[in-house]
Amino acid sequence: MRWIGAGREAKDTEFLELVSSRTGHLYRSACLLTSGDTHYAEDLVQETLSRMYVLWRRSAWTGGRHRIDNPAAYAHTMMVRTFLAQQRRRSSGERPTGELPEPEGRESDSTLRLTLLDALGRMPAKDRAVLVLRYWEDRSVEETAEVLRSSSGAVRTRTTRALARIRALLGDSLAELAAR
């Protein structure tokens, strides 16, 4: 097998540029998906990027047969699908525990953030995914449906129900925390 040296190096450079520009956003989205479990979020981003790299390298060796038109969107889609697949495999009683580390210098919204993360953590994985995709990543119903491999109507229904669930979980505490 003959390696395409110059093409492979260019692809590696492109991949490193993608990683350096999108890792922060992937990590923030992963933190929301995992309800603030930073270790699980890091693992999720790492798995997503390693899968992307395999696909990326394969396209360099085959002359671009596996072209990715929008690598950033593809990475987010792959991360959400990886998260949902892992949630299906995890036992229903398995819950990560531990304290969330507080970043230095950010104390103003920590209680609100922790309350929201806790509420997200008590929701089903697909509800969390819908809320993160629709409201954190600001994706349309159609884009969310594509990522979740679902219909637009199902996404609208799940969004409505997920919002009702999170409101019920938060109760009056959200208004009190937001007023502080």
Question: Tens of pLDDT along 25-75?
Answer: 999 999 999 988 899 999 999 999 999 888 877 765 455 555 677 888 889
Instruction: From residue 132, give the alpha-carbon distance in Å to each of 85, 116, 141, 161, 168.
Output: 16, 12, 12, 14, 18
- Please state the φ and ψ torsions of residue 21, each to the nearest 5 degrees: -85, -25
The average pLDDT across 153-158 equals 95
Helix extents (H) in 5-70 = 5-33, 38-61
Instruction: Give the count of beta carbons closer than 10 Å to the beta carbon of residue 108.
Output: 9
**pLDDT at position 31:** 92
* pLDDT at residue 116 tops 80: yes
Q: Which residue has the higher pLDDT, 60 or 159?
A: 159
Residue among 81, 14, 78 at smallest CA distance from 49? 78
Report the b/e string of 12-32 with b at 16+ CB within 10 A: eeebeebbeebeeebbebbbb
